[in-house]
């Protein structure tokens, strides 16, 4: 027996066959679309602002990223800006597109509107984000509406008297109270209708950044 065993010649690893571009191209596109749709469906999606109901916080044509994950682990907070699908009341009025408003009333809260001021559990809510009703209107923006015009019948509006927000539901208002079709008119938003929280504005570039990084509101105590 020798000290050195006979060895077979080394075999070079086989290189995988490269698929032609007309095969790899469509595969890459399909994979990219699959990932993009997966992210949009489960993680985040982009939205734009079509109206002035959230002035001055959000401007018309702002582009936002909506976080669709965090509310799977925690509940919306007062002050969050949320995107939600039309409620049953809105669907009856033939609304089909998503809305964006600010959470004001939480489940169990007693909410009242007196002389344009929001009261939570009989205490006034400080809302530094609300558009100043005495501020001169930008002629480039739609003409502001009075609440009478926003809610055709105040006697039938949801906040014509004090209400208690039901469990699993939220009361939402626009920051531009003179021109926002919101919970004052049609009621509450069920938890399951909330798509996600508006987190980041990515357009226009000069306003790019996280929304409410230092919230301009105070929670009612």
pLDDT of residue 115: 81
In 3D space, the residue among 212, 178, 221 whose CA is nearest the CA of residue 80 turns out to be 212
pLDDT of residue 205: 82
pLDDT of residue 20: 57
CB 130 within 8 A of CB 175: yes
pLDDT of residue 116: 78
In 3D space, the residue among 157, 146, 189, 181 whose CA is nearest the CA of residue 50 turns out to be 181
Diameter over CA atoms, the chain = 107
pLDDT of residue 155: 47
Q: Where are the alpha helices (DSSP H) in 4-115?
A: 21-42, 88-92
pLDDT of residue 40: 43
b/e burial code for range 26-59 (CB count within 10 A of at least 16 → b): eeeeeeeeeeeeeeeeeeebebebebbbbbebbe
Strand order in 117-120's β-sheet? Answer: 123-124, 117-120, 110-114, 163-164
> pLDDT means per 10 residues in the chain (221 residues)?
44 54 48 42 68 89 89 92 94 92 96 89 89 51 45 65 95 90 93 93 83 59 47
Residue 53 is among the residues annotated as catalytic for this protein: yes
Residue 193 CA to residue 85 CA, distance in Å, equals: 5
Catalytic residue among 19, 32, 53, 153: 53
| Residues forming a β-bridge with 118 | 113
Catalytic residue among 19, 32, 72, 101: 101
pLDDT of residue 35: 40
Residue 143 is among the residues annotated as catalytic for this protein: no
Enter the pTM of the model: 0.72
Residue with tokens 């939220």: 170
């Amino acid at each position: 027996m020798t000290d050195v065993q006979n060895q077979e010649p080394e075999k070079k690893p086989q290189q995988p066959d490269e698929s032609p571009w007309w095969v790899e191209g469509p595969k890459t596109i399909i994979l990219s679309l699959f990932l993009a749709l997966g992210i949009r469906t489960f993680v985040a999606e982009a939205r734009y602002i079509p109206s002035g109901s959230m002035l001055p916080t959000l401007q018309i044509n702002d582009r936002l990223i909506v976080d669709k994950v965090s509310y799977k682990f925690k509940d919306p907070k007062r002050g969050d800006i949320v995107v939600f699908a039309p409620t049953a009341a809105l669907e009856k009025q033939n609304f089909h597109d998503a809305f964006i408003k600010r959470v004001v009333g939480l489940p169990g809260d007693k909410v009242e509107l007196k002389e344009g001021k929001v009261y939570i559990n009989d205490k006034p809510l400080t809302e530094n984000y609300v558009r100043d009703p005495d501020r001169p209107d930008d002629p480039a923006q739609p003409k502001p509406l009075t609440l009478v015009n926003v809610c055709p019948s105040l006697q039938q509006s949801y906040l014509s008297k004090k209400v208690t927000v039901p469990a699993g539901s939220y009361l939402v208002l626009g920051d531009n109270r003179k021109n926002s079709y919101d919970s004052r008119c049609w009621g509450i938003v069920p938890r399951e209708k909330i798509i996600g929280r508006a987190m980041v504005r990515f357009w226009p570039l000069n306003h790019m950044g996280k929304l409410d990084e230092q919230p301009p509101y105070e929670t009612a105590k």
